Protein backbone atom coordinates (compact mmCIF):
# COMPACT_ATOMS: atom_id res chain seq x y z
CA UNK A 1 0.00 0.00 0.00
CA UNK A 2 1.76 3.14 -1.22
CA UNK A 3 1.48 6.42 0.71
CA UNK A 4 -0.70 7.97 -1.98
CA UNK A 5 -3.00 4.94 -2.08
CA UNK A 6 -3.43 5.28 1.67
CA UNK A 7 -4.34 8.91 1.12
CA UNK A 8 -6.94 7.82 -1.44
CA UNK A 9 -8.34 5.36 1.12
CA UNK A 10 -8.64 8.24 3.58
CA UNK A 11 -11.17 10.03 1.37
CA UNK A 12 -14.18 11.34 3.34
CA UNK A 13 -12.19 11.13 6.57
CA UNK A 14 -11.08 14.09 8.65
CA UNK A 15 -7.41 14.95 8.46
CA UNK A 16 -4.81 17.53 9.35
CA UNK A 17 -2.55 18.90 6.65
CA UNK A 18 0.51 20.93 7.53
CA UNK A 19 2.08 23.03 4.79
CA UNK A 20 5.77 23.75 4.45
CA UNK A 21 5.14 27.29 5.72
CA UNK A 22 3.72 25.90 8.99
CA UNK A 23 0.04 26.64 8.36
CA UNK A 24 -2.28 23.77 9.17
CA UNK A 25 -5.56 22.84 7.54
CA UNK A 26 -8.13 20.66 9.30
CA UNK A 27 -10.89 19.24 7.15
CA UNK A 28 -12.46 16.28 5.42
CA UNK A 29 -10.64 14.96 2.38
CA UNK A 30 -12.80 15.19 -0.74
CA UNK A 31 -10.33 14.09 -3.39
CA UNK A 32 -6.64 13.75 -4.18
CA UNK A 33 -4.49 12.98 -7.20
CA UNK A 34 -1.11 11.49 -8.06
CA UNK A 35 0.64 14.79 -7.28
CA UNK A 36 -0.83 14.88 -3.76
CA UNK A 37 -2.99 17.88 -4.75
CA UNK A 38 -6.01 17.69 -2.46
CA UNK A 39 -9.48 19.11 -1.96
CA UNK A 40 -10.78 19.58 1.57
CA UNK A 41 -14.25 20.37 2.90
CA UNK A 42 -15.29 22.17 6.13
CA UNK A 43 -11.80 23.52 6.66
CA UNK A 44 -10.25 25.30 9.60
CA UNK A 45 -6.97 26.97 8.74
CA UNK A 46 -4.55 27.76 11.56
CA UNK A 47 -1.68 30.21 11.22
CA UNK A 48 1.93 29.18 11.74
CA UNK A 49 1.98 30.40 15.36
CA UNK A 50 -1.42 28.91 16.11
CA UNK A 51 -2.88 32.28 17.04
CA UNK A 52 -5.12 33.00 14.06
CA UNK A 53 -7.90 30.86 12.61
CA UNK A 54 -9.95 30.93 9.44
CA UNK A 55 -12.97 28.85 8.55
CA UNK A 56 -13.81 28.02 4.95
CA UNK A 57 -16.34 25.66 3.37
CA UNK A 58 -13.79 24.16 0.99
CA UNK A 59 -10.23 24.55 -0.20
CA UNK A 60 -7.69 23.20 -2.67
CA UNK A 61 -4.08 22.57 -1.67
CA UNK A 62 -1.30 22.10 -4.18
CA UNK A 63 0.60 18.92 -3.34
CA UNK A 64 4.05 20.48 -3.58
CA UNK A 65 3.29 22.86 -0.67
CA UNK A 66 2.48 20.04 1.78
CA UNK A 67 4.84 19.04 4.59
CA UNK A 68 2.79 16.16 5.97
CA UNK A 69 -0.75 14.86 6.48
CA UNK A 70 -2.09 13.28 9.63
CA UNK A 71 -4.92 10.80 9.14
CA UNK A 72 -7.15 9.01 11.68
CA UNK A 73 -6.06 5.61 13.03
CA UNK A 74 -9.06 3.74 11.62
CA UNK A 75 -7.91 4.35 8.03
CA UNK A 76 -5.03 1.91 8.41
CA UNK A 77 -7.47 -0.71 9.73
CA UNK A 78 -9.54 -0.21 6.56
CA UNK A 79 -6.41 -0.95 4.55
CA UNK A 80 -5.83 -4.15 6.49
CA UNK A 81 -9.41 -5.29 5.86
CA UNK A 82 -9.14 -4.40 2.18
CA UNK A 83 -5.91 -6.35 1.77
CA UNK A 84 -7.43 -9.36 3.50
CA UNK A 85 -10.54 -9.37 1.28
CA UNK A 86 -8.43 -8.79 -1.84
CA UNK A 87 -6.18 -11.69 -0.97
CA UNK A 88 -9.18 -13.83 -0.19
CA UNK A 89 -10.59 -13.08 -3.63
CA UNK A 90 -7.36 -13.89 -5.46
CA UNK A 91 -6.96 -16.98 -3.28
CA UNK A 92 -10.43 -18.19 -4.23
CA UNK A 93 -9.62 -17.66 -7.89
CA UNK A 94 -6.39 -19.59 -7.58
CA UNK A 95 -8.20 -22.35 -5.75
CA UNK A 96 -10.67 -22.64 -8.62
CA UNK A 97 -7.92 -22.89 -11.18
CA UNK A 98 -6.11 -25.41 -9.07
CA UNK A 99 -9.21 -27.57 -9.05
CA UNK A 100 -9.36 -27.46 -12.82
CA UNK A 101 -5.75 -28.51 -13.08
CA UNK A 102 -6.43 -31.39 -10.81
CA UNK A 103 -9.24 -32.58 -13.01
CA UNK A 104 -7.27 -32.16 -16.22
CA UNK A 105 -4.06 -33.79 -15.10
CA UNK A 106 -4.70 -35.98 -12.12
CA UNK A 107 -1.32 -37.63 -12.58
CA UNK A 108 0.49 -34.36 -12.14
CA UNK A 109 -0.50 -34.25 -8.47
CA UNK A 110 1.49 -37.44 -8.02
CA UNK A 111 2.17 -38.29 -4.43
CA UNK A 112 0.31 -35.32 -3.07
CA UNK A 113 -2.90 -35.90 -5.02
CA UNK A 114 -4.54 -37.75 -2.18
CA UNK A 115 -3.68 -35.14 0.40
CA UNK A 116 -4.90 -32.14 -1.53
CA UNK A 117 -8.45 -33.45 -1.48
CA UNK A 118 -8.57 -33.34 2.30
CA UNK A 119 -9.98 -30.05 3.46
CA UNK A 120 -7.29 -29.62 6.09
CA UNK A 121 -4.35 -30.01 3.77
CA UNK A 122 -5.34 -27.29 1.39
CA UNK A 123 -6.10 -24.84 4.14
CA UNK A 124 -2.68 -25.22 5.64
CA UNK A 125 -1.04 -24.58 2.30
CA UNK A 126 -2.84 -21.28 1.96
CA UNK A 127 -2.16 -20.17 5.49
CA UNK A 128 1.52 -20.29 4.68
CA UNK A 129 1.00 -17.82 1.85
CA UNK A 130 -1.01 -15.40 3.94
CA UNK A 131 0.61 -11.96 3.74
CA UNK A 132 1.46 -10.28 7.01
CA UNK A 133 2.65 -6.92 5.73
CA UNK A 134 0.47 -3.95 4.89
CA UNK A 135 2.51 -3.03 1.83
Partner 1 sequence: MNKIELEGTAHLLDELDKKLMVLLRDGRTLIGYLRSVDQFANLVLHKTIERIHVGKEYGDIPRGIFIVRGENVVLLGEIDIDREDKLPLTEISVDDVLDAQRKEQELHIEKQRLISKALKERGLQMNADLVQDDLY
**Residue whose CB is less far from partner 1, 116 or 134:** 134
| Binding flag, residue 110, partner 1 (CB under 8 A) | no
Q: How many residues does the chain have?
A: 135
Q: In 3D, which of 68, 77, 64 has the Cα closest to residue 25?
A: 68
Single out the residue of 73, 81, 119, 129 in contact with partner 1 (rule: CB under 8 A): 73
Among positions 30, 75, 78, 125, the unique one binding partner 1 when judged by CB under 8 A: 75
Q: Are 86 and 13 in contact (CB under 8 A)?
A: no
Asked if 25 and 45 count as a contact pair (C-beta separation under 8 A), the reply is yes
Q: DSSP 3-state assignment of 91? A: helix
Report the run of H or E that residue 11 belongs to, with start and end: none
- With binding defined as CB under 8 A, does residue 66 bind partner 1? yes
Binding residue (CB under 8 A) for partner 1 from 37, 46, 59, 63: 63
Which CB atom, from 72 or from 99, has the smaller least distance to partner 1?
72
| R_g of the chain computed on alpha carbons | 24
Binding site for partner 1 (CB under 8 A): 1-4, 6-7, 20, 22, 36, 63, 66-73, 75-76, 133-135
Amino acid sequence: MLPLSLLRTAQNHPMLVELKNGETYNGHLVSCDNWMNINLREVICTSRDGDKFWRMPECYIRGSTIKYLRIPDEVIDMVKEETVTKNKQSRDQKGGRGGQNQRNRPAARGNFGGRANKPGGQQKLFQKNKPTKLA
